[in-house]
Amino acid sequence: IGVVHATRAIDAIHRFIGRIELGLIPQVIDTVLYISKGDVASILKVHYVVKVPSGMMQDDLSRPVIVISEHPSNEPKFEIYTFGDQVVVVPVTEEPDSSAFDSTKTRIIQEIENFLGTSEVEVKMKGSGKAVVSVPEPMMARLIGRKGASISELEKKLKVRIDVEALVPNGRKT
Q: List the pLDDT tens digit at each of the 174 positions of the chain.
A: 778 888 888 998 989 998 999 889 999 999 999 998 889 989 999 999 998 888 776 777 889 999 999 988 888 899 999 988 889 899 887 555 556 667 888 888 888 888 888 888 888 887 667 888 898 888 888 888 898 888 899 888 888 888 888 886 664 554
104 in the same domain as 87: no
Bridge partners, 35 (sequence order)? 40
- Give the structural domain span for 72: 9-91
pTM for the predicted model, two decimal places: 0.57
Q: Which of 43, 64, 91 is the last residue of a domain?
A: 91
The number of domains in the chain is 2
Strands (E), the chain: 31-36, 39-51, 63-70, 75-83, 86-91, 122-125, 130-136, 161-167
161 in the same domain as 107: yes
Cis preceding linkage at 96, omega within 30: no
